[in-house]
Structure 1
Amino acid sequence: MAKRPQLTGRAAILAVVVCAIAMSLAYPVREYISLRRSISELRAERAAVEAEKQALLARDRQSRDPNWIKKTAKERLHYCGPGEKCYVVMEPQQGKEQKAVKQPVAVPPWYQTLWESVEAADKGTGRRAVTGKETVGQ
């Protein structure tokens, strides 16, 4: 009895045809997927633009309201209508002092501190630093 080969001519042709079909479909499927992704991104962008458009239309309607115009003029421009008494409240002086306190004190550079300590030691006016049990500079 003769053994049949495992890979026949028909099987080889079938494998080549299946590979050719798979390769010919790979690019169109990839393009289809990328186009679907692009469409979904464009839909999201369109929704954002539509929301911005609606906000601008609402702002336009609001700007045509005479009461809103008067209110905005009073707030932004400190407008005072005829017959109204308007007052300007000044900020207290404490606000300026608090800002000055919050600023950190400028620390002199290390070399300036070192030189000042050398000069003080030369004159004998320096103070003695205490570390632990012993006194430095005695």
Structure 2
Amino acid sequence: MLVLVLCSLVAILAYPTRQFIAQRSEISAQRAKAERATQQVEQLRKERARWQDPEYVKAQARERLHYALPGETPFVSVDPSPPATAQPAPGAVAAGPAARSAVPWYTNVWDSVALADAPAAAGAAPGAAPSTAPVPATR
């Protein structure tokens, strides 16, 4: 009879004990999250205080925006020999927004008209979807 009472007590207390342990771990996780948020707020307050200093603002404007004070001559140093990886291979088609900005807009329009007017590729079957291959730029 005593074993039956002990087993029933264990069964009755198992679920609340498990919930208690789960809630304790959740509370500690929330406390850690609150501590991280507090640290982040403190860091942002320090950053805001730095931006209130006019000298810091001037330094950031000079560094990030390349501003110069009146009477100064601003300049940007450029490496005369770019790295080998930045140079495209001869005959390669330039792609991306930087390459498109080097070509006048009307050249891109004319190239798209020429592409639309060109016959389908020799290997394409009639009724097949058009190719999405890049079109070489003509100058």
Q: TM-score, normalised by structure 2?
A: 0.58
More strand per residue: 1
- Of Structure 1 and Structure 2, the greater helix share is in 1
Instruction: Give the root-mean-square deviation of aligned CA atoms.
Output: 2.1
What fraction of aligned residue pairs are identical, expressed as a percent? Answer: 34
> Does residue 1:46 correspond to 2:37, yes or no?
no
Residues 7-35 of structure 1 show CA distances to partners (whole Å, capped at 9, x for unaligned) of xxxxxx21211111111111111111001
Higher relative contact order (CA 8 A, sep 6+): 2
Change (3 A) 1:36 1:69: same
Find the aligned partners of 1:65 and 1:73 in 2 and give their Cα distance.
Answer: 13
Specify the structure having the higher radius of gyration (Cα): 1
Give the unaligned 5+ runs of structure 2: 93-139
Correspondence 1:1-138 to 2 at 5 A: 13-92=1-80, 94-96=81-83, 98-99=84-85
Residue 87 of structure 1 and its aligned partner are, at CA, apart by: 2.0
Q: TM-score, normalised by structure 1?
A: 0.59
Segments of 5+ residues of structure 1 without an aligned counterpart are 1-12, 107-138
Post-superposition CA distance 1:34-63 (Å, at most 9, x none)? 011001101111111111111111110011
